[in-house]
Amino acid sequence: MSNILRRGRLEAAPDEEILRYTSSMEADRWIFNADIAVDLAHTVMLREQGIINEEDCSKILSGLLKIREEGMEKLDFSYEDIHISLESRLIDMVGEDVGGRMHSGRSRNDEVATCIRLTLREELTGLLEEIFALRKTLVTLAGKHTETLMPGFTHLQHAQPTTLAHHLCAHEAALGRDFDRVLDAFSRVNLCPLGAAAFASTGFDLNRKRTQELLGFDGLLENSMDAVSSRDFLIECASVFSNLMINLSRMTEELVIWSSSEFNFIELDDTYASTSSIMPQKKNPDTAELMRGKTGVAVGALMSLLTICKGLPLSYNRDLQEATPNIWRSVETARISARVMEGMVRTMKIHTDVLAAQSITGFTTATELADTFVRETGIPFRTAHQIVGILAKEMEKPTMEKIDSVAEFVLGESLSSRGLTEYMVKEALNPVSNIKRRKIVGGPAPEEMQHYLGKRQTELELNEQEITTLKDSIDSAFETLLEVVDEYRKI
């Protein structure tokens, strides 16, 4: 092999071990299609600027399309990266006098930065779709359970009664913020570094706006040094993916706990379970557990990126080659986890009878009882808190007689003498009445939940349109690029 990159400055061929150590070819599988697109757009622009002639442009474009059709496996993996391997393959096809002109005015530095952004924006739009699908499933499921009682928890102990809809919507709200973060990150990813060359731009009269448009970017990274050396967008995305995975891991933790014999709130579909090699009765929530574990992949990728990028002087440094495999692992983990979670939630069996029965255990209505004392008798909340705390220590369901006894101990008078009735106590201890009373914004009352779900549905419709707009914009740019390529190939 005559190495088109090393043959001028370097005499010795790279040692095989060093080549394996420094090669990014395997990780570059992620950016194969993006690299072809970048080469096509750059070649079109070179022709339009008069830097290469029409005939050479036609041959280069035809060669690139042939390489795309052949696939990455036809490339020479003895090169250190896909960019040189692809260029070498092109030169083999059309000759160096033609193919050797494609790289005019360009460096691998701006080339790879552009390829990463092209690929990552595709992954981001896919992730938006997957988060959207999960949120839609949660909202749909919540709509069926606005009156399904369940215990709410703090410190994993029964705290207050709530509804399953209220609980599911808490997770959906967090995922909604994840969606917004991905969308926000997209705006900084979808900027074009192409034309920055090594870091100081180029003396060739390139039209950077033209390649930006052909590749469907929203704008340019104007400073050429920043364009090739910045990987803050990778750190931002890795942080977004980590946050999403942490939110998903909270959900998986609950699925694991809720599917246990001790809770028995749900049963996961067999698709997402496994059994034991020795204990035939076991149905283990392995998929949920693995998702909980895979959160470490995303968080680990973020830590790696932060460490790799720390302290790098401007402009480009080869350390950055180690950054990209981390972002691909992270986004792949996030995407498949969101898809799998949607399936687990959609297919799980909910034991509503168990949820309802558990909603009143552990004196979950204690807060409402204290609130009732305040509203109906006028005593301070802290005093009511003390009375109910004493009652909770002694019994789970207090009687009117016991309430008065404790009140006399604390206040020196009974609460019945201040207007509290047995009916008021009964209503306070009733979980259904308890929840219906909580109808302020964001509360679990069925009436409020219906209003809330309507707002979430409206937001989902807007989000769906945002996804469609992004995808249409990218697809339209790619179609335009191919149309121009097809036109210039015929000359």
CA distance 220 to 117: 12
Kindly give, in sequence order, each residue whose CB lies less than 8 Å from that of residue 345, ignoring residues fewer than 6 positions away.
134, 137, 138, 141, 251
Domain for residue 9, yes or no?
no
CATH number, domain of 289, equals: 1.20.200.10
Question: Could you tell me which residues are beta bridge partners of residue 80?
Answer: none
Instruction: Note the helical H segments in 197-285.
Output: 208-214, 224-229, 232-258
pLDDT for 90: 96
- The reply to whether 136 falls in a domain is yes
Phi, psi of 7 (to 5 degrees): -65, -20
Q: Is 155 a catalytic residue?
A: yes
For residue 418, which of 383, 394, 368, 366 has the smallest C-alpha distance? 383
Q: Which of 378, 407, 429 is the last residue of a domain?
A: 429
Among positive and negative, which fits the CA dihedral 140, 141, 144, 147? negative
Q: Is residue 238 part of a domain?
A: yes
pLDDT surpassing 90 at residue 394: no
130 and 85 belong to one structural domain: no
Do the beta carbons of residue 428 and residue 372 sit within 8 Å?
yes
User: What does the pLDDT read at residue 209?
Assistant: 98
Q: pLDDT at position 12, please?
A: 64
Give backbone dihedrals phi and psi of 277, rounded to 5 degrees, phi first: -75, -15
Is 439 domain-assigned? no
Same domain? For 186 and 293 the reply is yes
**337 plus 254 within the same structural domain:** yes
pLDDT of residue 129: 99
Q: Is the pLDDT of residue 8 over 60?
A: no
Q: Measuring CA to CA, which residue among 236, 229, 174 is closest to residue 197?
A: 229
Task: Please write the tens of the pLDDT for every residue from 82-124.
Answer: 999 999 999 999 999 999 999 999 999 999 999 999 999 999 9
Whether 63 has a pLDDT exceeding 90, the answer reads yes
Domain boundary among 384, 410, 429: 429
Q: For 267, which DSSP code?
A: E
The reported pLDDT for the residue numbered 282 is 87
Q: Of the ranges 342-351, 359-368, 457-466, which one carries the lowest mean pLDDT score?
A: 359-368
The answer on pLDDT for 210 being more than 60 is yes
CA dist., res. 314 & res. 311, Å (int)? 10
Q: Are residues 408 and 328 in the same domain?
A: no
Q: Is residue 451 part of a domain?
A: no
Whether residues 306 and 371 share a domain: the answer is no
Q: Are residues 327 and 342 in the same domain?
A: yes
**Same structural domain, 171 and 261:** yes
Total domains present in the chain: 3
Tell me the pLDDT tens digit for each residue of 216-240: 999 999 999 999 999 999 999 999 9
The domain boundary residue, chosen from 381, 410, 429: 429
Q: Lowest mean pLDDT: which of 163-177, 386-400, 453-467? A: 386-400
- Tell whether 59 and 177 lie within a shared domain: no
What pLDDT, on the 0 to 100 scale, is given for residue 304? 96
Q: What is the mean pLDDT of the chain?
A: 94
pLDDT band at 350 (very low <50, low <70, confident <90, very high): very high
Q: Which has more confidence, 395 or 450? A: 450
Residue 264 belongs to what H/E stretch? none
Structural domain containing residue 352: 113-147+157-195+228-359
Average pLDDT over residues 176-191: 98
Please give the average per-residue pLDDT across 425-430, as a whole number. 94
One domain, residues 120 and 240: yes
**Residue 491 included in any domain:** no
CA–CA separation, 344 vs 288, rounded Å?
8
276, 417, 451, 476: the catalytic one is 276
Q: Which of 2, 155, 261, 277 is catalytic?
A: 155
Q: Across-strand partners of 274?
A: 284
In a domain, 201, yes or no: no
Q: If you average pLDDT over residues 13-21, what whole number do you get?
A: 76
pLDDT at residue 7 in the model: 47
For the question of residue 385 being annotated catalytic, the response is no
CATH number at residue 67: 1.10.275.10
- Give the mean pLDDT of 344-364: 96
Tell me the average pLDDT across 333-353: 98
Q: Which amino acid is at 22?
A: T
Q: According to the model, what pLDDT value does residue 275 have?
A: 85
Give the model's confidence band at 277: pLDDT under 50 very low, under 70 low, under 90 confident, else very high.
Answer: confident
56 and 129 part of one domain: no
Residue 196 binned pLDDT confidence (cut-offs 50, 70, 90): very high
To 5 degrees, how large is the angle CA 162–CA 404–CA 427? 30
Residues 371 and 405 in one domain: yes
Sort 461 into a burial class: Cβ within 10 Å, 0-12 / 13-18 / 19+: exposed
Question: Is there a single domain that holds both residue 188 and residue 300?
Answer: yes
Quote the pLDDT of residue 1: 45
Dihedral sign, CA of 127, 130, 136, 138?
A: negative
Residue 77 lies in a domain: yes
